[in-house]
Amino acid sequence: MKYRGRPEQVPEIARDPEVYRLARSLLETEVSSGSQVVEEIRQKVYEQRDPETEILEVFERELAILPFQSPGLPKNIPAAGWKRNGRTYLLENRLIENLLPKLSAEVRATFAPGGRDKSARISPMTAALLRVFSGRGWLVIEHEKDKVLPSEALWVITAGKLEFSRVIILDLPAELLEKLPAKDSYYEVLVKRPLFQSVIQSSVSKEDLMGGMLRPKPASPAKTPDPLAEEKASSDA
């Protein structure tokens, strides 16, 4: 087995060509089986890997080339989001369209849009993205009086005169913000409301709990004694 994995280095055996052919055949079989073992090991390693880890890696890698609505973006390329005042706004569908083709075939098959439950409010890929962003502490789940669950953190915004729904809002760290366009998006971006109405109220007042119908009626003002009436009553007596 001196020439294991190197059949091209087997010396010529002039006296017995059959021995030479047999040696090469054995060595090539060894190389083939060795490659198969390596492939099986790679497959096992992949199977043990969390798909969301790959999603995070692909997002961080592709962030620099995502098309943001900013100076220099060609008109025929639809923007995937906006950068405004240090905050990132990403359209759910455009983000997935850009990331999904960059995932491995196995992960891509897991999150393919065709397998989505039509009754579900959020696709499996969006749910995975929200978990990843929430786990890193980037996901915005609160705006003014509205607070939503991380699993439902999709918002309705306006950018300029247009309204957009199903927007993921992120507060990215400095090292990722550096990958975004240097200049902010053209239009002012305003958050209007959560996409879903199942919001979490951060504080509930006593009046909110009681409601308008349950609030006690104001006490009737005390009647002021009428001196003339009292005097007449005394005279009658």
Same domain, 43 and 108: no
Q: Is it the case that residue 119 has pLDDT exceeding 70?
A: no
Residue 68 maps to a domain? yes
In one-letter notation, the amino acid at residue 105 is A
Same domain, 39 and 112: no
Q: Is it the case that residue 220 has pLDDT exceeding 80?
A: no
Per-residue pLDDT, 61: 96
Residue 182 maps to a domain? yes
The residues near 122 (Cβ < 8 Å, ≥ 6 apart) are: 130, 151, 152, 154
pTM of the model: 0.65
Q: Considering only residues 177 and 27, tell me which one the structure prediction assigns the higher pLDDT.
A: 177
Q: Is it the case that residue 18 has pLDDT exceeding 60?
A: yes
Same domain, 89 and 159: yes
Do residues 162 and 189 lie in contact, with contact meaning Cβ atoms separated by under 8 Å? Answer: no
CA distance 168 to 148: 12
Same domain, 67 and 174: yes
Residue 81 maps to a domain? yes
Same domain, 97 and 187: yes
Residue 223 maps to a domain? no
Mean of per-residue pLDDT scores for the chain: 78
Per-residue pLDDT, 209: 39
Per-residue pLDDT, 10: 55
Same domain, 107 and 22: no
Per-residue pLDDT, 129: 97
Same domain, 25 and 81: no
Residue 185 maps to a domain? yes
Same domain, 142 and 160: yes
Residue 230 maps to a domain? no
Same domain, 128 and 175: yes
Q: Is it the case that residue 22 has pLDDT exceeding 90?
A: no
Q: How many structural domains is the chain composed of? A: 2
CA distance 76 to 70: 13
Residue 189 maps to a domain? yes
**127-153 pLDDT, tens per residue?**
999 999 999 999 999 999 999 999 999
Q: Is it the case that residue 105 has pLDDT exceeding 80?
A: yes
Same domain, 36 and 106: no
**42-101 pLDDT, tens per residue?**
454 445 568 999 999 999 999 999 999 988 888 889 999 999 999 999 999 999 999 999
Considering only 21-25, 58-62, 159-163, 191-195, which range has the smallest mean pLDDT? 21-25
Q: Is it the case that residue 126 has pLDDT exceeding 90?
A: yes
Same domain, 153 and 179: yes
CA distance 98 to 93: 9
Do residues 181 and 68 lie in contact, with contact meaning Cβ atoms separated by under 8 Å? Answer: yes
CA distance 12 to 20: 7
**Which domain, by its residues, includes 129?**
51-194
List helix spans (H) across the chain.
17-47, 51-62, 92-99, 105-110, 124-135, 174-177, 206-214, 227-236
Residue 165 maps to a domain? yes
Same domain, 122 and 104: yes
